[in-house]
Structure 1
């Protein structure tokens, strides 16, 4: 048997090595090409998904127990796309929204599972708001966060409400300088200086950025817990020691000051539309004493619920802030617009009467109602 020359054997080994290198290179190139194509497809899909996804409004309800106006809100949400809103409810601990406690499928099981007991005029109200925000922020699609009471009604249909809120990059926060003595507690200084002290309404609508700031706050909120408390009134003295001289107490209602003060403290007032979208009428004439004037909002009952009342609220197109000599003309998309999208406080009979009378632009079709602007 003849042996191959050494040169031939070397040539064959060289060819084998070259083939192996080429094969490995081809495999690596194929893998890299496939990975690049996969990334491109993934990026395109992601861009399409982000472009196609509609940002949502998180409706955050603060309720005592059940939602007495759930049927009215059901009709409101019926007129919207479920991909454009989410619902969260803070009720008393242990309360469940099930078929026995709500007649609307939109509210079933929408209660948060770590609610706390709320006491009016105390920091527990702020804690409840923070809990709602924590839950709502878990959904990355939620880009606006609207606080509502269990006595709020919508004044317009879902489409108009959604477009109004989403048409601006700002939060809607009622915020103005509070110059009345007795509300700001000097003990808050220097953490919260007096020039950052603001008053407003707790019924705010926040951008995601501002919602995250509130949830992460560990500086301003502790000061409110310590130094912002309501003034003792006789009807509450049974729950706490009788003050020696209640004229020296600071009358601070935490939820009326916290959000506006925190955002002012952060230097973010330029990112706000400084008004609330929820209308409230304050009852001054029925107050028994000057120190109690303006403490309680008007509650609209059955006899008050008329189309004229609703229209009078819709016709409001400006708000005057006396302490700042500032008149806020209401606009949407750069054009004059109604100031309010919601109103409170309405009893269930009053709200249902407005629904049946189509006073909110609601017309009955078959067995259900449909919201019309």
Structure 2
């Protein structure tokens, strides 16, 4: 009698690719960018809270084992240690999931790192709705939590090009930074738009007369696809990518929003406290008006499940974006 080994059930809910079918991707762009930077700069060190494989920090660990620190499941200790490393002149990149860096270790980030203005780079994986494992792992409010922290630079890259350029830029930038990490097989899109990442600067990727998309993070890739498809409906859409949430490029947003178009914000974050409210306050404080439509996650704890299904349900898919724009016009 023979026995059959049961087939191991797997799920893509935890670490799923955000790339569309057929889209060009780059594997572990953060890990490779950090490794290249460390090849040139001996002051660069890496830390992980038992998640090196799941934050692409394992690429750096394997290339520079003597400069990698495995802190275990202790995010508060990791950020405290990163602060100490920065105090003695090193440039730490500390990686974990966004929920743990923001909810669990906020006080350490605030008082050990931000208050003394130390050059610690916090790298948060699974930002927003990039995992299907429910509220315990979905960092849908990390931008809202961190925007009020004095001196902290916050970056939400769109693709592998953004990440690869942001890593050395953040290492050279004074003070603490927080990077919302896209990991694994990350789309490669911005190389088609003559794009260069600059801290604190937005980039107009395409122009259009009818609608202005102001987007950040992975939603910029969706915005570009939706804009191209809306052109078939004779809707001309501009896309303004805002990779830096703080400091916010108010001048560029105000200039583009003043052109009389429907303004649509797109973010992989709650509509509370993120990009939409950054744009709204920017307009309000300048005394400028615009028809503003926010596309983002609801002010709610989200469901668990497969990412494509969740993105459709919560309005982040390309189809949902196009439908929302058509209703607003």
State the TM-score, normalized to the length of structure 1: 0.25
Compare CA radii of gyration and give the structure with the larger one: 1
